[in-house]
Amino acid sequence: MRMIDPELIAQDNLQAGPGLEADYAHLAAQLGRRGTQIEQITEAVGRLRVGLPSWAVGTGGTRFGRFPGPGEPRHILEKLEDVAVIHQLTGGNPSISTHYPWDAWPDYREVAEKAAGLGLDFDAVNSNTFQDQPGQALSYKFGSLSHTDPAVRQQAIEHNLECIRIGQELGSRALTVWIADGSNYPGQSHFARAFARYLESLKQIAAGLPAGWQLFIEHKFFEPAFYSTVLADWGSSYIAAREVGEPCRCLVDLGHHAPSVNVEQIVSRLIQFGKLGGFHFNDSKYGDDDLETGSLNPYQLFLVFCELAEAGAERFAYMIDQSHNITDPLESLIFSTAQIQRAYAQALLVDRAALAEAQENNDALLATQILKAAYQTDVGPILATARQRSGGAIQPIPTYRASGYRQQVAQARPRDQRAGGGTG
């Protein structure tokens, strides 16, 4: 089933097609002179899968408030529809990452069937032990997997095992665990004991993973714990992934580092020692701002992709994790997907042999110029061509606006005040 009339996309593409063909041919000639075959880049961009989180299609918010937009999805089935719209336009977002209990549903076969009908599959399932749910026996106020009370830890472990069971029904192949555990005051928590308890819990979750599944752990240096967090940084994450063993890998959420931290070097380290699992993409100026990927620091994103492209980018899991507080979330996700594809295409343009030589010769300026030459190439025609070939739109945001989808769902989905979105 197609959410947007394919005829509308075809019509829009017909209009934009001739201009794109001319731009693509020009870029192909330009890259050819540099010894790069444009088709290889276009195909690689077309193969990149960028997962979308179920929580990003609703309006996000901050602890000061939330300003819901019209036609927000009220449950998982409607979230699937929104993701299908994005994928139809971009051709690059074939999977959705669900979060429990936010996406709880009485019959997961129905969810799986709906997704299959829309041409979507399921990315990692996410557990939630950072909020208390109505009727929950024990509170996570003072932590979950690292809690001092073994009964609370057990409850959190069981929730994660339940997420795995749901994921099996949906066809997911990974569980992502982000915990809010930490402390707000010096002395509140014993660093080593809390970390040991976390590791013990994580091992029990890993023991419940079906064959072929991965366990992704997501570090974050602050918030909602404002003095320390149990899994604060990539070092702790690496140690945890190593302790837990093969199925466990580190997930890098770009916003989970202090400003100015060299994230691309972290990515390199995790790749070098076999523990990079994947990404939560977003952008930030101050903290875990969850802004659109590439909206502030596109060069950092490019540098991250330089590390990935060298290692073979298709080995890792990519997802967007953003909070759209004042925009139409679908537009933000389309925009962000293109930013990710752009960074990847640019990274594939880096003249690796020349770079290696410059590095060997300690030619600092030449080395950095080689990166800039790739970064400053406008790869827009490659992205648009990859989209068009996948049945998507050459200009996805104008086509989305012209489709009237937002107006339709505003009618069809009367506002439910309880429905949330974003993670704040």
Closest contact distance (angstroms) between CB of 376 and ligand AFD is 31
Token look-up 């998982």 returns 76
According to CB under 6 A, which one of 72, 82, 253, 292 is a site residue for ligand AFD? Answer: 253
Longest dimension (CA), the chain: 66
Q: Give the nearer residue to ligand AFD in terms of CB position, either 221 or 405.
A: 221
> Are the beta carbons of 328 and 32 closer than 8 angstroms?
no
Q: What does the alpha-carbon distance between residue 81 and residue 114 come to, in Å, rounded to a whole number?
A: 9
**Environment class of 233 (CB within 10 Å of its CB; exposed 0-12, middle 13-18, buried 19+):** middle
Binding mask 313-352 for Mn ion (x = CB under 5 A): --------x-------------------------------
**How far, in Å, are 30, 350, 374, 394 from residue 377 at the CA level?**
10, 10, 6, 19
Pick what 159 binds: ligand AFD, Mn ion, none; C-beta below 5 to 8 Å, kind-dependent. Answer: none
- Burial profile 308-342: b = 16 or more Cβ within 10 angstroms, e = fewer: bbebebeebbbbbbbbbbebbbbbbbbbbbbbbbb
- Going by C-alpha positions, the residue among 229, 205, 241 that lies closest to residue 127 is 205
Amino acid symbol at 105: W
Taking CB under 6 A as the criterion, which residues in 177-216 touch ligand AFD? 178
Q: What does the alpha-carbon distance between residue 47 and residue 199 come to, in Å, rounded to a whole number?
A: 35
Taking CB under 6 A as the criterion, which residues in 288-307 touch ligand AFD? 288
- By beta carbon distance, the residue nearest ligand AFD is 423
CB within 8 Å of 6: residues ≥ 6 apart: 391
Judged by CB under 5 A, does residue 283 bind Mn ion?
no
Closest contact distance (angstroms) between CB of 374 and ligand AFD is 29
Per-position DSSP letters for 11-76, written without gaps between them: HHHHHHHHHHHHHHHHHHHHHHHTT--HHHHHHHHHH---BEEGGGSS--EETTEE-PPTT---SH
Q: What does the alpha-carbon distance between residue 198 and residue 244 come to, in Å, rounded to a whole number?
A: 11
Pick what 126 binds: Mn ion, ligand AFD, none; C-beta below 5 to 8 Å, kind-dependent. Answer: ligand AFD
Judged by CB under 6 A, does residue 220 bind ligand AFD?
yes
Q: Give the nearer residue to ligand AFD in terms of CB position, either 220 or 387.
A: 220
Pick what 103 binds: ligand AFD, Mn ion, none; C-beta below 5 to 8 Å, kind-dependent. Answer: none
Closest contact distance (angstroms) between CB of 20 and ligand AFD is 35
Judged by CB under 6 A, does residue 103 bind ligand AFD?
no
Stretch that binds Mn ion, among 22-30, 273-281, 335-343, 382-390 (CB under 5 A): 273-281
Closest contact distance (angstroms) between CB of 34 and Mn ion is 36
Closest contact distance (angstroms) between CB of 406 and ligand AFD is 25
Binding site for Mn ion (CB under 5 A): 253, 280, 288, 321
* Residues near ligand AFD, by CB under 6 A: 126, 178, 218, 220, 253, 280, 288, 321, 423
